[in-house]
Structures are given as structure tokens and as C-alpha cells.
Amino acid sequence: MAARPGALEVMQDAAVIPVIVLQDTAHAVPLARALLAGGIRMLEVTLRTPVALACIEAIAKEVPEAVIGAGTVRSAADAQAAAMAGARFAVSPGYTPAVGKACHDLGIALLPGVATGSEIMMAQEDGYTALKFFPAMQAGGVAMLKAWHGPFNDVRFCPTGGVTLANAPELLALPNVACVGGSWLTPADAMERQDWPRITRMAAEAVALKRRA
């Protein structure tokens, strides 16, 4: 069985974690290979479609060099299903102790979603200090992350939600940002057309983004 990474390892692997919504299982493996070819191996497949778990399973089996994770994990049952499909990490839009405990018990890394100071404190109480800031741009963006750096200077964030190639550099320049999450790497039209070279080019552009040392 492939090793399961820690949350900070997931966040530090590349400047961007792609947020992937798959509508067709046939697209899962070629998409994963296209992202890998561009230098991105941490892949978050969101549990927003009926085929999401099948896509996670296909990538886990056929593209072992990718590190497949499940996004939109909202319950312990979601975490269990994702782990059984082969997910090696989980990403949640918010945080509850039940989701945190489930991921801990399953031995999979969790990037819990937070949007307020109280949510950060709740996640920290359960041992989580590598967090997803969601929805980042709608909830304050760069200004909020700067404000959080004082009281929460031991927390690293992955801002997700409204992040683009254009605004990612400003976020990545912040000392408390380890990476960003973005859906722009896997546009629906490119997947519908199976334009995998385009996705590889976009992944390479994302990998080239500079993060604060």
C-alpha cells in the first residue's frame, strides 16, 4: 500500500493543489496523467458528483505515482468511503470533530476548511494546524490571512475558493500560506474535449509559481 502523506506534506509538494470535479470516469486516469506530466501529483477529486469515488479508485489503481485525495468530505461516512476508494488525504469545506476523528482513525491526512478564528481554534484543539482557508477570496483573501498571522502564527493555510493564476502569487507570498487550491487547472471545457496537453501546460504554469521560502 502506498504511504499516506501528512497534511503539511500535501500542502508543500507544489504551489497549487488542483480542485477537480469529474463528471466522467473515463476522464479520471488521463487527467491524472496530464497533471503529473505538468509536475503536480497531489490531486484533490471532490465528492461532488456520483462518479467521484469511482474516479478516485481508478486513479489510485492506475496512476500510483499520483497522490490522490478526496475533497468535499463532510462526514465520517465520506471519509470512510474515500479511504476505501484509495484516497490518501481528505479535504473538507468546514471542520467538525467527527470528521477530524474519522480521518485520524483512518490514518489519512485531513486539510480542514476554516473561515473564522473560532473554526481555526476548534481545529487546533484537535491537533490540526495545516488548514484550508475556504472560501478564501470571498471570506477576506489576503487581508484576512495577514490578520490571522499574528494570533495564529503557528498555522499554515491553503487558500481555496476564488483563487486564480492571476491572484495566486500574492497569496503565495504570504508567510502563512503553504500552497493554494484552484479549480482553474482543470477547466470543464478542456476535460470535455479531452485536451490533456492544455491541462499539462496549465499544471506546469502552476508549478512555476513562486512561494515564499
- Strands of 109-111's sheet, edge to edge? 109-111, 89-91, 67-71, 42-46, 16-20, 180-182
* Catalytic residue list contains 119: no
Question: What integer pLDDT is reported at residue 2 of this predicted model?
Answer: 61
pLDDT in tens, the chain (213 residues): 466 789 999 999 999 999 999 999 999 999 999 999 999 999 999 999 999 999 999 999 999 999 999 999 999 999 999 999 999 999 999 999 999 999 999 999 999 999 999 999 999 999 999 999 999 999 999 999 999 999 999 999 999 999 999 999 999 999 999 999 999 999 999 999 999 999 999 999 999 997 664
> Residue ranges of the domains in the chain?
7-207
Say what the pLDDT of residue 51 is: 98
Sorted by sequence, the CB contacts under 8 Å of residue 113 that are 6+ apart come out as: 91, 92, 93, 94, 95, 119, 131, 132, 133, 134, 160
| Three-class SS state of 35 | helix
Q: Which fold has domain 7-207?
A: TIM Barrel (3.20.20)
Task: Give the model's pLDDT for residue 5.
Answer: 87
- For residue 56, give the DSSP letter: H
Whether residue 101 lies in the annotated active site: no
Exactly one of 101, 132, 205, 210 is catalytic; name it: 132
pTM: 0.95
Residue 60 pLDDT: 98
Residue tagged active-site, from 44, 65, 205, 210: 44
pLDDT at 45: 98
Structure confidence at residue 210 (pLDDT)? 76
50 and 38 Cβ atoms separated by less than 8 Å: no
Q: What is the pLDDT of residue 3?
A: 65
